[in-house]
């Protein structure tokens, strides 16, 4: 079944408010989830919502957290997120860090007792729309091992960077430091599909194509990706006093994540007039795109450009929800009391889009 962007936003918002989330928080989460699906990052869209709903049932995701400012010192902010939605926490932290960046030129906000932050490119898009440069990173449930190790001690540890442009698409990089996000492993297992051998290793450290046997995700670029993941741990946890390594909750037991995040916001308008900065970004983009192309290449893309185009395209066509995902989401919504038994996915969508 295909659903439209606004339909998905209303669907997610409705399920979450029916699950006792404040309406404002539910709206933020819904927009990030729909952004993910409509930019082609299916691992953090409705697929990830099923995980959030399970965490709510298990009591490991706080639907009414107390988001508390622990430190406010010049351009530095520290928050305790009370194990609430990481999507809500990072959006709130970004809002406050942006104000600081306008005052000081740069600001850094960190948080502890956090949870999954959703689709990272959303924050890059926000920063670019605000004429800001932002770096966002966080640690996650431990899904991978140190280079040369066997124990799972490090997360997928994404890195997001957003840069505003003028006439061109903003430059937005959103990468995990592993070859793939765990959400894609989960999606493959749900759909009964194999995974590429380079995505993950089994318990004994051998490559596997069976998502059910994926124990440790492989880092990008071997030891280099491992090094990046370590530095994300440092930025996200050492300044915020968040958990890391064996102190983190267990993904398999739906335990509280207790992760940390780091948001750094820079006001490029403090370095030069903002239009001059964006003109320079445009010139950079054109220089890359107009360069000579390798054989068989039709177009050169900048980071994030494909996602911007995908978003425009999918807002016209809608997002295709698989039967397996539709069934799982409907069953979870019923179990949480969001809707009555006997409803199907089409009815679920219609219920919250009436």
Nearest 5°: phi and psi at 264? -115, 125
State pLDDT tens for residues 249-281: 999 899 999 999 999 999 999 999 999 999 999
The per-residue pLDDT for range 339-352, each reduced to its tens digit, is 999 999 999 999 99
pLDDT at residue 206 in the model = 87
**Which residue from 319, 344, 322, 349 is spatially nearest to 189, judged by alpha carbons?**
322
Q: What does the pLDDT read at residue 182?
A: 79
- Whole-model pTM? 0.94
* Domain boundaries defined on the chain: 1-58+315-354, 65-178+219-290
Q: How many CB atoms lie within 10 A of CB 175?
A: 18
| Burial classification of residue 89, based on how many CB atoms lie within 10 Å of its CB (0-12 exposed, 13-18 middle, 19 or more buried) | buried
Residues belonging to the chain: 354
State the 10-residue block means of pLDDT for the chain, 354 residues long. 97 97 97 98 94 95 97 98 98 98 98 98 98 98 90 96 98 95 85 94 90 93 96 98 96 94 98 98 98 98 98 97 96 95 97 96
> Architecture of domain 65-178+219-290 in CATH?
2-Layer Sandwich (3.30)
What distance lies between CA 214 and its chain's CA centroid? Answer: 21
CATH architecture entry for 1-58+315-354: Orthogonal Bundle (1.10)
């Amino acid at each position: 079944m295909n659903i439209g962007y606004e339909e998905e936003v209303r669907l997610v918002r409705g399920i979450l408010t029916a699950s006792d989330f404040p309406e404002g928080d539910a709206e933020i989460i819904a927009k990030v989830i729909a952004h993910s699906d409509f930019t082609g990052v299916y691992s953090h869209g409705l697929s990830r919502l099923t995980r959030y709903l399970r965490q709510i049932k298990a009591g490991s995701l706080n639907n009414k957290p107390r988001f508390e400012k622990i430190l406010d010192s010049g351009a530095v902010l520290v928050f305790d997120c009370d194990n609430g939605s990481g999507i809500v926490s990072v959006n709130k932290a970004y809002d406050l860090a942006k104000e600081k960046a306008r005052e000081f030129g740069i600001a850094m906000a960190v948080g502890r007792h956090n949870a999954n932050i959703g689709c990272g490119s959303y924050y890059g898009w926000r920063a670019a729309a605000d004429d800001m440069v932002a770096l966002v990173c966080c640690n996650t449930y431990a899904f991978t091992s140190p280079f040369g190790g066997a124990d799972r001690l490090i997360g997928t540890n994404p890195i997001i960077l957003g840069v505003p442009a003028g006439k061109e698409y903003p430059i937005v990089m959103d990468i995990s430091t592993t070859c793939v996000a765990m959400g894609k492993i989960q999606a493959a297992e749900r759909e009964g599909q194999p995974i590429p051998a380079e995505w993950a290793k089994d318990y004994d450290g051998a490559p596997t194509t069976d998502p059910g046997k994926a124990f440790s995700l492989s880092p990008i670029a071997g030891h280099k990706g491992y090094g990046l993941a370590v530095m994300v741990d440092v930025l996200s946890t050492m300044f915020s006093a968040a958990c890391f390594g064996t102190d983190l909750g267990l993904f398999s037991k739906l335990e509280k994540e207790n992760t940390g995040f780091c948001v750094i916001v820079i006001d490029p308008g403090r370095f030069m007039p903002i239009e001059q900065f964006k003109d320079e970004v445009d010139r950079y983009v054109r220089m890359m795109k107009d360069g000579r192309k390798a054989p068989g290449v039709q177009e050169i893309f900048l980071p994030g450009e494909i996602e911007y185009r995908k978003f425009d395209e999918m807002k016209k066509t809608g997002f295709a929800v698989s039967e397996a995902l539709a069934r799982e989401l409907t069953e979870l919504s019923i179990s949480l009391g969001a809707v009555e038994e006997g409803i199907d996915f089409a009815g679920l969508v219609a219920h919250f889009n009436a």
